[in-house]
Amino acid sequence: MPELPEVETIRRQLAPRVVGATLTEIDVRDPRWCAPLDPLALRDALEGRRVEALGRRGKYFDLELEDEVHLLIHLRMTGTLLYRPDGEVPHTRVLFAFDGAGRVAFADPRRFGTGELAIGHEALEEFFAARLGVEPFDDAFTGAALRARARGRRGPIKPFLLDQRTVAGVGNIYADEALFRAGVHPLRPAGSLRPVQYARLRDAVRESLEAGIAARGASIDDFRDIDGARGSFQDRFLVHLREGEPCTVCGTEIRKTVVGGRGTYVCVRCQPPPRRRRTGA
Ligand SMILES: [Zn+2]
């Protein structure tokens, strides 16, 4: 499932090719992609407008067109954007055509990806405010901010990190990697860390995401970049998917467990488990 580094990898590749071009056609072949919006309404709003920017917020692409018209694209489970001047791409749900910049296919075998519209700066702010917390590379993302949000929370820290309203863009891979780097066990109650640990976790989230971006994303399932190439971050995981292998820091065998329904990888020496809770607590 694409997370921030995978989305950012695509954004960096695609932006130079489409910014400045005019979106001449958006062919929505699967209306579920933009439901409840009618594909015809989407065409009316978008077609014929110049692309001003291709931004990213959390795991969303923000395709900004003339007159503050924003198309917000989310890849969800298996979505990908492929740059293909010609030729048919399997599982294409939406096809974009840009004048002088070729075509881009939104391919998505499992069909969970979405396209939504926000017109005007205010609508855009509202859209993100309702869905996303702080951006991890923003100055507002600090150890103190993380600590303030976690205060009083007894649920485990990993699902807390996966909540997009805590910090935008972190998914299962990067949560595991960040918790390992910070030396925090994923089952620790979110509100129970020491101040220095929140600061460490904040740094670890950034470092993990930066490492993912530098490796052009992780291709453990469907992720491909816009030219169909795989990322290489899966070869550099510190704990994720490394069950049974030695910890790169201490040599202890990495274990797999399940936290909040998600496969989770830990080094129990580097990430000491929380003390047993009292019965009924
Ligand atoms: Zn270790």
- Categorise residue 258: left if φ over 0, alpha if ψ from -120 to 50, beta otherwise: beta
How much of the chain exceeds pLDDT 70, in percent? 98
pLDDT in tens, 112-141: 999 999 999 999 999 999 999 999 999 999
**Is the confidence at residue 39, as pLDDT, over 80?**
yes
The per-residue DSSP string of 199-254 comes to HHHHHHHHHHHHHHHHTT---SSS---TTS---SGGGG-SSTT-TTSBPTTT-PBP
pLDDT in tens, 174-200: 999 999 999 999 999 999 999 999 999
**Is the confidence at residue 1, as pLDDT, over 90?**
no
CA of 9 to the centre of ligand 1 (A): 29
Catalytic position from the list 2, 39, 136, 186? 2
Catalytic position from the list 56, 59, 181, 202? 59
Report residues near ion ligand 1: CB below 5 Å: 247, 249-250, 252, 267, 269-270
* Global pTM exceeds 0.85: yes
pLDDT in tens, 236-256: 999 999 999 999 999 999 999
177 as an active site residue: the answer is: no
* Both tokens assigned to 271: 């990430």
262 as an active site residue: the answer is: yes
**Is the confidence at residue 62, as pLDDT, over 80?**
yes
Contact 124, 70 (CB under 8 A): yes
CA of 270 to the centre of ligand 1 (A): 4
pLDDT in tens, 82-94: 998 677 889 999 9
Q: For 73-84, what is the mean pLDDT? A: 94
Q: CA-CA distance, 249 to 227, in Å (whole number)?
A: 35
pLDDT in tens, 49-60: 999 999 999 999
Per-residue pLDDT, 279: 53
CA of 159 to the centre of ligand 1 (A): 22
Catalytic position from the list 12, 131, 230, 262? 262
Q: For 154-159, what is the mean pLDDT? A: 98
202 as an active site residue: the answer is: no
Per-residue pLDDT, 8: 97
Per-residue pLDDT, 278: 57
Q: For 8-27, what is the mean pLDDT? A: 97
CA of 242 to the centre of ligand 1 (A): 12
pLDDT in tens, 208-223: 999 999 999 999 877 8
CA of 141 to the centre of ligand 1 (A): 27
CA of 264 to the centre of ligand 1 (A): 15
CA of 272 to the centre of ligand 1 (A): 10
CA of 183 to the centre of ligand 1 (A): 9
**Is the confidence at residue 170, as pLDDT, over 50?**
yes
Per-residue pLDDT, 277: 60
CA of 212 to the centre of ligand 1 (A): 20
Q: CA-CA distance, 59 to 210, in Å (whole number)?
A: 15
pLDDT in tens, 227-236: 889 999 999 9
Catalytic position from the list 3, 6, 64, 177? 3
**Is the confidence at residue 281, as pLDDT, over 50?**
no
Q: How many CB atoms lie within 10 A of CB 178?
A: 27
What are the strands, taking DSSP E only, across the chain? 22-28, 49-57, 60-65, 69-74, 80-83, 92-98, 102-107, 114-119, 255-259, 262-266
